[in-house]
Amino acid sequence: MVGCRARMTAVFDDIEVRYARSGDARIAYAVRGAGSHELVYVPAWFSNQDLEADETVFSPLLSFSRFVSYDERGSGLSDPVTVDALPTLEGWADDLHAVIGAAGVDKAVLLSEGIGGPVAVLYAATHPERTRALILVNSYAALAWSRDCEWGVTPDAFEQFVAHAERVWGTGEVLRSAMPDVAVDDAQLRRFARRERQSMAPAMVGAIFRQQYATDVRAILPTINVPTLIMHSVGDRLIPLAHGRYLAEHIPNARLVELPGADNSIWAGSVALPIAFDEIEEFVTGVAASANRDRVLTTLLFSDLVGSTERAATMGDRAWRSMLDRHDDTIRHQLERFSGVAHKLTGDGLLATFDGPARAIRCGCAIRDAARQLDLDVRVGLHTGEIERRGTELAGIAIHLAHRICKHAAASEVLVSRTVVDLVAGSGIVFNDRGTHELKGIPSPWHLYAVE
């Protein structure tokens, strides 16, 4: 592979971005953190080091690692390539090798996700002397359908996806589709749009996806002899769980962790994020992440505005923003009344916790009624379960379950799990049976009830 013999440095707003030489190409990379473990993030082309330098999502990893991130050739700040001259998989691995050398990494823990996974797989197989371990998140060995890969994507379905991605690229919709469980307001969607535009030119989108669709690294999986952690969202529709299970079955001694939810990208507020970070820390350091963490039974409330996009288009940005401010003020007032704690409050929705399910129900009803006075409709979902607190972060399948219940609620409906119903027996609260439902990303059906 092509080594790195020279590097250049550029400074943007006091944040240093460096360049590694890979043949004739310059690959942008950055180094953060000063931990004792060397972690190299292999991206899925959706990156730009100017944006990554300001991103805090990977901050928990910096406490124990020296974290290296980079932009694949043809994306972000790295040198461009033409559509008809994309590097091969070996060429992408050459770029990774150049970054590892330029950053002074001795033995890297490779962390990759999605379509960046095969690059990390090839590198780990061909450079075990420079690879300490491998972590693959929602990735695959082969995307295309075949008789021995029946969970793959058919050519027609893939071309439909690519055509859609090319059509909406730069609007934020591609990244949004990769995170169906993340509440995305207008501001977040604008951030997604900016990341799409600054990571890849529109002409590159279809070319990269088609190249990765043709990639197949199944034959080299048995040759990987470094410790491997596979993490995969159980409800991932872009890259289904069967891909993660295949990787775990064919990489020797690999460990599979099935994450809650349906998010393909877990780095933007997914319920799986705290779990993933804990797994990564324990895998890399050998020590379970336990600092400032405790488990507690709590009642979780999700609320979500119904038809917010349409209302915003009808009212106009200024009037809609004023309406959202009034909505948020109302929610804060109701949380104070019922001793709820907000953990996420945006113009479109809320995640709050309560130490009692009856108070949570009454707060949900009050939020619904107050929204009606503003001529707004909200849906509310509640579930009581055990969560894990680590500092200000919350984790646990209960969070995902409450979110899915909220998504099943109708406009102006407060929908709860059977657990909540059982816990408030004798409270005088009346429920209507809504039957059993399959909740996306949840292994078994759940009985749901609407508050009367």
Q: Are 406 and 418 in contact (CB under 8 A)?
A: no
pLDDT 10s digits, 298-315: 899 999 888 777 777 777
Check residue 387 and give its pLDDT.
81
Burial class, 391, CB count within 10 angstroms (exposed 0-12 / middle 13-18 / buried 19+): exposed
Residue with tokens 């324990």: 282
| pTM of this prediction exceeds 0.95 | no
In whole angstroms, give the CA distance from residue 191 to residue 253. 39
Mean pLDDT is lowest, of 72-76, 335-339, 441-445, for 441-445
Half-sphere exposure of 408 (CA within 13 A, CB side): 25
What average pLDDT score do residues 45-51 get? 89
Q: What pLDDT is stored for residue 24 in this prediction?
A: 92
Q: In the prediction, which pLDDT does 293 show?
A: 54
Q: Measuring CA to CA, which residue among 88, 93, 81, 119 is closest to residue 22? A: 93
> Across residues 364-384, what is the average pLDDT?
90
When mean pLDDT is compared across 166-175, 224-233, 337-346, the lowest value belongs to: 337-346
The pLDDT of residue 185: 78
At 10 the pLDDT is 39
pLDDT (average), residues 314-329 = 82
Q: What pLDDT digit, counting tens, does each position of 375-403 carry? A: 888 999 999 887 877 666 777 778 888 98
On average, the pLDDT of the chain sits at: 86
Q: What pLDDT does 294 receive?
A: 63
Q: What pLDDT does 99 receive? A: 97
CA dihedral 106, 109, 113, 119 (to 10 degrees): 40
In the predicted model, what is the mean pLDDT of residues 111-123?
A: 94
Residue 98 region, left (φ>0) first, then alpha (ψ -120 to 50), else beta? alpha
Q: Which domains does the chain have, with CATH numbers?
A: 7-285 (3.40.50.1820), 293-451 (3.30.70.1230)
Question: What pLDDT is stored for residue 13 in this prediction?
Answer: 37
Residues across the chain: 452
pLDDT in the model for residue 321: 83
CA distances from 155 to 117, 145, 152, 419 (A): 21, 8, 10, 44
Considering only 32-36, 417-421, 442-446, which range has the smallest mean pLDDT? 442-446
Inform me whether the pLDDT recorded for 19 exceeds 90.
Answer: yes
The pLDDT of residue 383 = 93
Segment 263-279 shows an average pLDDT of: 84
pLDDT at 370 over 80: yes
**pLDDT of 345:** 67
pLDDT at 48: 92
Residue 20: what residue type?
A
The yes-or-no verdict on residue 135 having pLDDT over 70 is yes
Q: State mean pLDDT over 262-272.
A: 82
